[in-house]
Amino acid sequence: MELWFTENHTDNVKFSIKINRQLVSKESRYQRIDVFDTYEFGRILTLDGFLMLTEKDEFIYHEMITHVPMAVNPDIKRVLVIGAGDGGTVRELVRYKTIEHIDMVEIDKEVVEVSQEYLPFTASGLSDSRVNIHYADGLKFVRSRENEYDLIIVDSTDPFGPGESLFTREFYGNCYKALTDNGILINQHESPYYNQDAKAMKNAHGRIKSSFPVAMVYQMHIPTYPSGHWLFGFASKGIQPVKDVDFDRWNSLLINTKYYNTDIHKGAFLLPNYVKKMLNE
Amino acid sequence: MKEYTQKDAPLYEAMINQRENPIVHLDVPGHKGGRGNKELRDFIGKECMRMDVNSMKALDNLCHPISVIKKAQELAAQAFGAKEAFFVVNGTTAAVQYMIMTACKDGDKIIMPRNVHRSAINALVVTGAIPVYVNPGTNKKLGIPLGMSVEDVKKAMDENPDAKAVLVNNPTYYGICSNLEEIVKLAHKRNMMVLVDEAHGTHFYFGENMPPSAMSAGADMAAVSLHKTGGSLTQSSLLLIGENVNGGYVHQIINLTQTTSASYLLMVSLDLARKNLYLNGREMFKKTVDYADYAREEINKLGGYYAYGEELINGNDIYDFDRTKLSVHTLDIGLAGIEVYDLLRDDYGIQIELGDLGNILAIVSAGDRELEIERFISALSEIKRLHGKKPTGLFDHEYINPTVIASPKVAFYSEKEKLPINESSGHVCTEFVMCYPPGIPILAPGEMITDEIVEYIRYAKEKGCSLTGTEDLKIENINVLK
């Protein structure tokens, strides 16, 4: 018997992973949640049939979404994480002793429950005493906050589904308001490669640019995401992500990482010409 | 013929049957199921084109319904608690006109609030009926027209005992209701008909804890825009009649101007919307009210904005309030409603129903999701943060009682001449001058232009109100009786 998980990366491109067995499948109020054991990528989580993470390459995503802003401003004390029900982002954040408070806002409680049961490798950080989990709509949560966070990380699904509102101009504007003067917004920024992803990427960039004086993107390689070429957004009220960063200070923290290092940090903001062109369109 | 219940949709079922048993079409429409216009077919869909058919034996005929359309209309009548229901495919504008044409002949008087929809005044041009206007109250703070107070209606009836009918706009666009039950009692005592423009009131028939519907209040006729909040296709509508109205005569009136090629897409949408409303309406409108109440609460927390609701009720010209309506007063953040309306669309990709000088109105329905509601609230929060400024003075309007010199029909068809507005005092106007806000006509055909009115127009223009209605799009000249 052969069992395969297949995700359409476009209408004409498929990506398939051979499944060993299915561990759980449930329909929450918001989406379908599945966890599989695979031969190549270890345990994987899918939402509505879209691959969210694999045991084998999640470290790239979670390290790059957290250590980049933490290196830019190691004095970050209060963090808001939106989405991220699998816990991987929080797992990286709690490695910083200097962070005092983390609010995690996930709309779907069942994603967190499934992760806690089946994905201990990412969910491990959720039990840290500094972490407060709120099961709420991200857009609504951030609306009433003002000057409260040094860092907001938007670890969302694609803009087609429960994550839709996290790609809107009003959301980015509300984030601006919720951030302190030194605040940083990091967001899952889709991919520049396939047309549909690229369109979402350009839209998101345009909207962030209209709310933040500094709006840049950085890239990394995530083998199991469509095309493998993936972007995160970096936005702030003034802080630049490479210039003025004290990289020695981060290195002195001696945080052991598998993907991130300060050279990658600098290089990640150097973009291919076709991506630069898209961002300027 | 089969016995139908509210779980059926007779016209829909006949159309399904027709689709499953295709026949050769050597009749209209000439697109022949889309083969004759492929670009349109690809755009709106194959099924849509295939179901765009002409009347035929199996599908009945709206001009003279005897089978499935008749049954569908009977089910609609039952669902809405009416004696009879008529499918209307020329818009609720047509349904309002059918009511007035049924009640009034040339020269008959009809009592109506000054803020009626222009379709009603247009019907006066067609029929020759003479309007007796009642001042709708105005909320000074919000700048919106209200309902008619019972006292004012009674006064108009006493002064015009020969009037044939009263037209009530219930609810208004902004969700304001008049005391319909009392107006019906007063009118019936005087042998006047009560016609209700219920364009925004479909949900009153199906939701819980709603203001009374026209039929439940005992009104004689009601024009219900099923497409607005009831889920049928745009332009489809229902005309309802009560016990004392002659259905055969209404049918004749309808046939004077209604198309002989009624769209089956529109009609089947009425049939299915009725079924859905009957079976699920209560739940749908509960969800709508919950969304609107939630949004009101959250918007009022933002500060500056005022999303108004039931607290406006005063037992008089705000006898009741339609909680499904989500109106927000914006002037206190220093922005006109129309400015917020434009920002929502241009910067946030959110299209709302209207913006006037002081308010915006969003239409919420069971078709919405939390996403849309949250986006709307958050966008308002952002607009306040980024664009809010110190409030400026509001346009202050006093109701000017119109002097009707000639019937709208006579004025409209008479010889006329064009005059600059500021030289027009003392002449009889032959066209409309509308002013938003508050959306009450300043002049209608057949009315005397006075110094007070000329001054009012000048003031409204200066305050940035939107003026419409005259042939001269710049509203500098006006047509008057020669």
Residue B50 lies in a domain: no
Range of weakest confidence among A134-148, B119-133, B206-220, B227-241: B119-133
Tell me the pLDDT tens digit for each residue of B89-117: 999 999 999 999 999 999 999 999 988 88
Residue B111 lies in a domain: yes
Q: Check whether residue B83 and residue B209 sit in a common domain.
A: yes
Chain B, nearest residue to A142 by Cα: B378
The per-residue pLDDT for A281 is 83
Residue A6 burial class via C-beta count within 10 angstroms: exposed 0-12, middle 13-18, buried 19 and up: exposed
Please pick, among A34, A155, A158, A197, the residue that the annotation labels catalytic. Answer: A155
Residue B394 lies in a domain: no
Range of weakest confidence among A155-169, B45-59, B161-175: A155-169
Considering only CB atoms, which chain B residues are within 8 Å of A170?
348, 375, 378-379, 381-382
Q: Check whether residue B83 and residue B229 sit in a common domain.
A: yes
Domains of chain A, residue spans: 3-54, 58-280
**DSSP class of A167:** G
Is B183 an 8 Å CB contact of chain A? no
A88 phi, psi to nearest 5 deg: -60, -40
Last residue of a domain, one of B275, B291, B307: B275
Contact A170 B382 (CB under 8 A): yes
Residue B238 lies in a domain: yes
Percent over 90 (pLDDT), chain A: 94
The per-residue pLDDT for A162 is 76
Is B476 an 8 Å CB contact of chain A? no
Written as one letter, the residue type at B28 is: V
Residue B45 lies in a domain: no
Q: Check whether residue B121 and residue B256 sit in a common domain.
A: yes
The per-residue pLDDT for B336 is 85
Q: Check whether residue B337 and residue B422 sit in a common domain.
A: no
- Band (pLDDT 50/70/90 cuts) for residue B438 is low
Range of weakest confidence among A35-44, B7-16, B399-408, B422-431: B399-408
Superfamily of domain A58-280: Vaccinia Virus protein VP39 (3.40.50.150)
Q: Are strands B193-198 and B237-241 parallel, antiparallel or unpaired?
A: unpaired
Domain range spanning residue B257?
73-275
Q: Check whether residue B155 and residue B298 sit in a common domain.
A: no
Number of domains chain B is built from = 3
Residue B414 lies in a domain: yes
Does residue A54 have a pLDDT over 70?
yes
Written as one letter, the residue type at A86 is: D
Cα dist. A7→A10, A12, A84 in Å?
Answer: 9, 11, 21
CATH number, position B364:
3.90.1150.10
A124 phi, psi to nearest 5 deg: -60, -35
Sign of CA pseudo-dihedral A181, A182, A188, A194: positive
Q: Is-catalytic flag, A37?
A: no
C-alpha of A20 from chain center: 27
Contact A165 B382 (CB under 8 A): no
Contact A173 B385 (CB under 8 A): yes
Q: Check whether residue B201 and residue B249 sit in a common domain.
A: yes
How many helices and strands in chain A, by DSSP H and E? 10, 12
Alpha-carbon dihedral B451, B455, B458, B463, rounded to 10 degrees? -160
CATH number, position B462:
3.90.105.10
- Per-residue pLDDT, averaged over A20-45, amounts to 96
Q: Mapping DSSP to helix (H, G, I), strand (E, B) and coil, where does residue A184 land?
A: strand
Does A3-54 match A58-280 in CATH topology? no
Q: Check whether residue B270 and residue B283 sit in a common domain.
A: no
d(CA B170, CA B167): 9
Non-local CB neighbours of B138 within 8 Å, separated by 6+ positions = B144, B145, B146, B397, B399, B438, B440
Q: What class has domain A3-54?
A: mainly beta
Last residue of a domain, one of B275, B295, B326: B275
The per-residue pLDDT for B435 is 77
The structure tokens listed for A114 are: 């499934």
Considering only CB atoms, which chain A residues are within 8 Å of B348?
168-170
Residue B437 lies in a domain: yes
Task: Please report the ipTM that was assigned to this predicted complex.
Answer: 0.86
Non-local CB neighbours of B66 within 8 Å, separated by 6+ positions = B60
Q: Check whether residue B212 and residue B351 sit in a common domain.
A: no
Q: Check whether residue B270 and residue B299 sit in a common domain.
A: no
Nearest chain B CA: its distance from A224 CA (Å): 29
Q: Check whether residue B178 and residue B242 sit in a common domain.
A: yes
Q: What is the mean pLDDT of chain A?
A: 95
Q: Check whether residue B326 and residue B416 sit in a common domain.
A: no
Q: Check whether residue B117 and residue B195 sit in a common domain.
A: yes
- Per-residue pLDDT, averaged over B216-228, amounts to 96
The per-residue pLDDT for B1 is 67
Residue B267 lies in a domain: yes
The per-residue pLDDT for B22 is 84
Q: Say if residues B479 and B470 touch (Cβ distance below 8 Å).
A: yes
More confident residue, B456 or B81: B81
More confident residue, B342 or B472: B342
B168 phi, psi to nearest 5 deg: -120, 135
Which range in B354-368, B428-442, B463-477 is most confidently predicted, on average pLDDT?
B354-368
